[in-house]
Chain A
């Protein structure tokens, strides 16, 4: 397995305080890493640092052998379902094409290769039939699928997802995780979430972030990790095999 991304002793200051403290993390080509942690623990900041949107104060980051930001054509990003304007005059196809902006370049139109990539991405998330729909005519889950298609249109080697389930109703979430597992066969995925139980079932590795990162490169976290991250005693719930976030523990 090759290394897709590596962070070495990264510190980030954000609005005058330390948001990330001494983060070291390496992500391999078929990793599916779930990052959990309390609100304000720096989960989104970590993704934005990997994307090059935020400069670290100290430490080094390499994405596919390049500084962050330079690797943008090979990184897909699905931001937290922020309040983007649902009335904005844009349809599904145009949103998916946005993923190709970096490939198409300035002063040029989209090439047939760009169109193919957007087409393929919409097909993968099963939204091709909706390609001419205006975004306001979609459900929350469908909008989220389109945003994932937009990230896939870049044909990424690394896919970063920030709270991807927040706008998806619980009945649809299973299908969503299955889609992510399938995508994971072709790319590394890092997913930020506050939903520990959901993360536990589908991801391969779990990390806990609260300014510091608690991570052992495995699918399990220790009680000490969680308590350190959440700064309070954490009740442990062991899930059945095959996936388990927390180790078995005596009751």
Chain B
């Protein structure tokens, strides 16, 4: 694998994988402990509208995805509070509406959208350096905000009502957390694509939750696991000539299955 490092696209791919691992470790932990998986799926898919707008108006589709995912996050956080729509329904509606907008925008764009597939299913080997910089900035924002509000986010995730009672601005912090999920989605789009984002958000954190008993350790372990999965998936996809995003997801899923099998085995042995 070392000889591959002489290629810029391979170095970029590895850096992108590591940056993705940081975001999914930090935010994936909250998504898993707060059960926000479907919200994250909704935000991810809604961002497709921004990809389409980027094609139509000729700017970087990832920038479009950033605007749309943040918009979807803010809408999901406010719509259920202001209307009688259930959270479940609003997630589904934003999910599909964002995708539909993307399809319409791409249809209206002149010509043919060559790397559309890479936004949907990821293409870690073609991440341009400019996107690496963007991922680095987003990762830094995520890390900074999590560090600033760590005790409030933890409390909010464990017991939202109590947090409100002691005066934590829960409405505001919920919106902030949704926006961080939106940023995470954007960091992950280039690596695994919109459709598969949810796997990297949930799988490393789910494995980490089996192995750790504190939020900080869970974040650390899921970041490390995310790094291992993206690099291993990248290498495997290169060797076997498979789609990189899908291979990363399958490596993660198999590791989760192995962890669950192992913890179950240990438990039955202890009880026997």
Contact = CB atoms under 8 A, between A and B. Distances in A.
Interface of A: 51-53, 69, 72-73, 75, 77, 79, 84-85, 87-91, 94-95, 97-102, 104, 106-107, 109-110, 134, 150, 154
A144 to B, nearest CB: 14
B151 A109 contact: yes
A102 B168 contact: yes
Interface string B141-169: 00000001101101101110111111111
A109 B147 CA distance: 10
A69 B167 CA distance: 7
Interface in B18-54: 33
Interface of B: 33, 148-149, 151-152, 154-155, 157-159, 161-169, 209, 212-215, 217-218
B157 A88 contact: yes
B212 A79 contact: no
Given A90-B154, A109-B151, A101 B163 contact: yes
A102 B33 contact: no
B212 A89 contact: yes
Main secondary structure of the interface of B (DSSP, over half): helix
Given A89-B212, A91-B214, A98-B163, A84 B168 contact: no
A101 B158 contact: no
A106 B148 CA distance: 8
B209 A87 contact: yes
12 contacts: A52-B165, A53-B165, A73-B167, A89-B214, A90-B214, A101-B155, A101-B163, A102-B166, A104-B151, A106-B152, A107-B148, A150-B162
A98 B162 contact: yes
Contact of B167 (A95, A102, A110, A134): A102
B162 A90 contact: no
Given A79-B159, A106-B149, A106-B169, 12 more contacts: A53-B161, A77-B165, A90-B154, A94-B214, A95-B158, A98-B163, A101-B151, A101-B167, A104-B151, A110-B151, A150-B162, A154-B166
